[in-house]
Amino acid sequence: MFTKVLVANRGEIAVRIIRACRELGLQTVAVFSEVDRRSLHVRYADEAYLLGPAPSRESYLRGDKIIDIARQCKAGAIHPGYGFLAERADFAQACQEAGIVFIGPRPAAIAAMGDKAVARQTVALAGVPIVPGTESVSSLRDEDLLAIAPQVGFPLLIKAVAGGGGKGMREVASLEEMPGLIRAARREAESSFGDGNVYLEKLIEGARHIEIQLLADQHGNTIFLGERECSIQRRHQKLVEECPSPFVGDDEDLRSRMGQVAVKAAQAVDYVNAGTVEFLVDKEKNFYFLEMNTRLQVEHPVTELVTGVDIVKEQIRIARGRQLRYDQSDIHRNGWAIECRINAEDPFNNFMPSTGIITHILPPTGPGVRIDTGVYPGFAVSPYYDSLFTKLIVWGETRAEAILRMRRALEEYKIIGVRTNIPFHQKLVDSHRFMGGQFDTRFVEDRFSLEGNDDEKDPNENIAAIIATLVAHRENQRATNIVQRGKRDTSNWKWISRWERMQH
Amino acid sequence: MKYITSIGEREYHLEIVGENQILVDGQLLDLNFDHIEDQPVYSLLVEGHSHEAYVYLVEGVWQVLMHGRLYPVLVEDEEEKRLRNSIGNPAHHSGEFHLKAPMPGMIVAVPVAERQEVQKGEVLLILESMKMQNELKSPRQGWVTHLRVKPGDSVEQHQTLLSVVDE
């Protein structure tokens, strides 16, 4: 049985996995790219090895190097986290061949669910409802797609066969705009997954994105840990997740039917370890299989806070061949949890990525607050990887308490050095529709604006005017002081450097 | 010291009376203003009410971020204001448009060529940063010149990538 785990990832998820290992008394090994030498996961791990240059394909996607490192340092297992190599069947296979435990499902299950077109066919055969779309062909040419599109019906979605995380996905309203969108989707899919194949799926309007967390051991036991609501998205990227779903609410029948269907989908591929079955749920509470993520999810903490199950530790126990410590009747919900994904991007400038050195962080603490993060003051956010760098998760007895707690935690969270989407989250959790639980996957794009209501007078505008004026006044005074050379004891250079720093 | 401070259309007339007093549109307010060393974080106590904001200076405009809201604030003294009014707001002349990288990243594709005519809204470049591909579009009709990058190039923020000119 393994006692040392190599974490083949970076950022907050690598830190999260290292924490689980430490609590289980396992040794940890970090791998890192040239720009990640100072990353938190490198600082926290017992051992750390350089992979290569910053671009993922030369570092975190180098499965061969990672396996070599694991062999050399005698790590008995590899945890892939999410993204990078997490859903690469060939990597899981290579681990197996090298005699290293891959903490995740078997290669065949990854492959079956990884090709989204094959996955649709597999689960449909097991009796799981799927969204109508192109069936069971993984490599369609542009002409085929254009010919099939009218049968699927508009609006529709072009999706990457190897897809995930909204990459390589495009929405199509009409046949005319389709060729350009196919090109863009293929290009993005090619660069994200090394596979430009795409398929089509009918766009279900007003749908919610609700997913079921599963755990399956190697002894044939599969259980579900309730659902997560992930409808708050922008450009198909999830931004806020909660557990339970306000849409499922008290409908225990719906919850249990979705859970059972998810278990069925997992069993169709002999699934082992933690996984998530994503569903689209329409207004009439019909639910359709969207895809299965054969890995740990970004949003796993909300389920952990509500069920009390440490999903990452369970993953490791399962990989060590243990039986699940729970059966379905042991799983109960307690309270409500919400997660906000904090990204390094500027919500006031079209969510443009923001890079730079994080100079200060003042994190929210106090009751019911959890932060999963991979950064610290002095750390440089680089353009090479995902903009998600910290997650703020809160728990409350009720949804209302969780929302109010999230509101205060967001206001407390101070991050200096890069722009973040915290203001977006603040506006969102304050909106009536979010509070009322009335939103679908299009809410952010269609009905949400960062601008205030014009008809509402903003009581703080004059405060902003006063603050700006006082800051400008101070700067004017300082500038004047610089002009009056030699009149002070302190060096003018010190003043100048301070003045310059203020400009950034 | 007197200032005319504008947020959008709204103008505020402020006068800093002393260390702890300010006149806002004729109303005298007691305040206590402080700032955390080396951080753009400011604290204002005004008539006992506490407010905290981030303040950044971006291209001459003070961006005040407070309670999740961003206020772009222009602060001028009377002379600056008069000067700006007399110049007026010069309409942006066509001339040259220089496309600058809005963020550091890698050029994924350059769908245009040197001397090619482009229309307003046409994609000039695709820049990848933080795994997202961003289409950079032309704000105007014109011809592409000074194309300085090719697919695979890494670029710095604010680096000029190409220009769009009249002729």
Question: Residues A101-117: pLDDT tens digits?
Answer: 999 999 999 999 998 88
Buried b (16+ CB within 10 A) or exposed e, A220-259: eebbbbbbbbbbbbbebbbbbbbbbbbbbeeeeebbeebb
How sure is the predictor about A483, in pLDDT bands with cuts at 50, 70 and 90? low
* The predicted structure's pLDDT at residue A137: 67
Looking at A62, A170, A186, A295, which residue is catalytic? A295
* The predicted structure's pLDDT at residue B89: 53
Cα–Cα distances in angstroms (integers) from residue A457 to residues A454, B23, B66, in the given order: 7, 21, 16
Q: Is the pLDDT of residue A304 over 60?
A: yes
Q: Compute the average pLDDT of residues A121-128.
A: 93
CA A255 – CA A247 distance, rounded (Å): 10
CA B51 – CA A54 distance, rounded (Å): 41
Q: Compute the average pLDDT of residues B40-53.
A: 95
Give the best-scoring range by mean pLDDT among A287-301, A347-361, A448-462: A287-301
CA B132 – CA B136 distance, rounded (Å): 12
B73·A465 Cβ contact <8 A? yes
Q: Compute the average pLDDT of residues B8-20.
A: 93
How sure is the predictor about B59, in pLDDT bands with cuts at 50, 70 and 90? confident
Pairing assessment for the beta strands B160-165 and B97-100 based on DSSP bridges: antiparallel
Cα–Cα distances in angstroms (integers) from residue B137 to residues A138, B99, B104, B113, B127, in the given order: 33, 9, 17, 14, 11
Mean pLDDT lowest among A120-129, A270-279, A489-498: A489-498
Across chain A, mean pLDDT equals 92
Task: Write the single-letter amino acid at B107.
Answer: I
* The predicted structure's pLDDT at residue A479: 83
* The predicted structure's pLDDT at residue A495: 47
What share of chain A in percent tops pLDDT 70? 94
- pTM for the complete prediction? 0.87
* The predicted structure's pLDDT at residue A456: 63
How sure is the predictor about A410, in pLDDT bands with cuts at 50, 70 and 90? very high
- Both tokens assigned to A449: 């604006």
Q: Closest Cα to residue A105, out of A119, A93, A120?
A: A93
How sure is the predictor about B83, in pLDDT bands with cuts at 50, 70 and 90? confident
* The predicted structure's pLDDT at residue A278: 96
Across chain B, mean pLDDT equals 89
**Chain A partners within 8 Å of B39 (Cβ):** 359-360, 416
Q: Is B141 on the interface with A (CB under 8 A)?
A: no
* The predicted structure's pLDDT at residue B85: 79
Query: Is residue A187 annotated as part of the catalytic site, yes or no?
Result: no
Q: Is the pLDDT of residue B111 over 90?
A: yes
A472·B3 Cβ contact <8 A? yes
A469·B16 Cβ contact <8 A? yes
pLDDT tens digits, one per residue of A426-462:
999 999 999 999 999 999 988 888 876 555 678 899 9
Buried b (16+ CB within 10 A) or exposed e, A169-199: bbbbeeeeebeebbebbbbbbbbbbebbbbb
- Both tokens assigned to A233: 């998205």
Burial class (CB in 10 A: 0-12, 13-18, 19+), A213: buried
* The predicted structure's pLDDT at residue B94: 55
* The predicted structure's pLDDT at residue A452: 62
Q: Is the pLDDT of residue B92 over 60?
A: no
Burial class (CB in 10 A: 0-12, 13-18, 19+), B34: exposed
Q: Provide the chain A residues 318-357 that lie in CB contact (below 8 A) with chain B.
A: 344-345, 348-349, 352-355
* The predicted structure's pLDDT at residue A308: 97
Q: Is the pLDDT of residue A486 over 70?
A: no
**Chain A partners within 8 Å of B5 (Cβ):** 465, 468-469
Burial class (CB in 10 A: 0-12, 13-18, 19+), B91: exposed
* The predicted structure's pLDDT at residue B163: 93
